[in-house]
Structure 1
Amino acid sequence: MTPIPMPRLNEQAPDFDAPTTHGQKKLADYRGKWLVLFSHPSDFTPVCTTEFIGFARRQDDFAALDAELLGLSIDSVHSHIAWVLSIKEKFGVEIKFPIIADLNMKAASAYGMIQPGASDTAAVRATFIIDPEGVLRAMVYYPMNAGRSVDEIHRLLVALQTADENACAMPENWVPGQPVIVPAPKTPEAAEARASEGYDTVDWYFSTRQL
């Protein structure tokens, strides 16, 4: 079996140059901003509709983090437009972010969105967070029959940005206001000194602090 090409964390995200509902878009267009790129199996499907409504309702929250949203599926621009208009008419929600029309599956294949165990002709529910330098910082895959959590994707982006800004790591389910994890010492001498450094230290390798 031919292995599925997969992008790798902390490396340059795969490039793309594709038609969208907002004209031609390429990865370089998002340089200098964070990008949340997410795929869905098909337009006019119930789970995907709920996800797009979820992203649309949080678009301003992502924008406040200097992040753009970009959808993708293996459907045409005309299909995307019809679906967007349907969501606006039936659900009262306007989809303001672009959606890639990946009919040749080039972008979906580069990002490992085509999973033969799930489908050979549709992109699974994959989400990628790309930083302002075009580096892939996070990726999350969901099955066809379970919708993703937009709240969690937003939380993950906040955690990534906070970790970058403060040289720290984030504990399970961290949200702003909670303590962050201090990087562990790298030498025996530093480990011995950790308890006296003013952190909330449980053991030499586990210390937290407030921001």
Structure 2
Amino acid sequence: MTLLRLVAGRLRPHRALLASLVLLQLVQTLASLALPALNAGVIDHGVLRGDTGRVLTGGATMAAVTLLQGAAAAAATYTGARIAMGVARDLRSEVFRRVQDFSARERARFGTATLVTRVTNDVQQIQTFTVLVLTMLVAAPLLCAGGLALALRQDVPLALVLLLFVPVMTGAVGTVVLRMRPLFRGMQERLDRVGRVLREQITGVRVVRAFVRD
């Protein structure tokens, strides 16, 4: 939740791109949901009846819808990436300016390796998370609602199975995310140690070269 609040607070300057992203995801979702119905129409009214004209017309319609879906998906991914890069840029700038205001004692307490990790790897992780949220988590509720509506339209008793599996899948994904949090925190601490050791080695190389020259 803290990460969501952190990202949400920096999405406000990108409201126009966010609106475009939601519209593109809606188009992509509608196209994805329309393809099975079009395919069923081609089989039921074209293939089974031997109507070649209906098959060609339905196939052309499916091809057009597929191209529309691909274009909307590509544009949504590009828009989401632009928003995520803008969020990362702003966040990196804020962290850098904040570190510049630290006193020498504060910088020594955190350590150079930790501060470098915060500005580089941590911001990169937030950027990746933002891309996933904007490209996948925005489309998932739309696709879920549309798929559930189509399933209820086709067969209500069978569609009720989805109402059972959706909470189960949500709980499973939530459990995986909760189990990953301590692992991710440990990975960040190890990155700090790697950065510190690498800086010590680079500094040691300078000392050795100075000693050899002397």
TM-score by structure 2 length?
Answer: 0.25
- Which protein is richer in strand relative to its size? 1
- Which protein is richer in helix relative to its size? 2
TM-score by structure 1 length?
Answer: 0.25
Q: Which has the larger radius of gyration?
A: 2
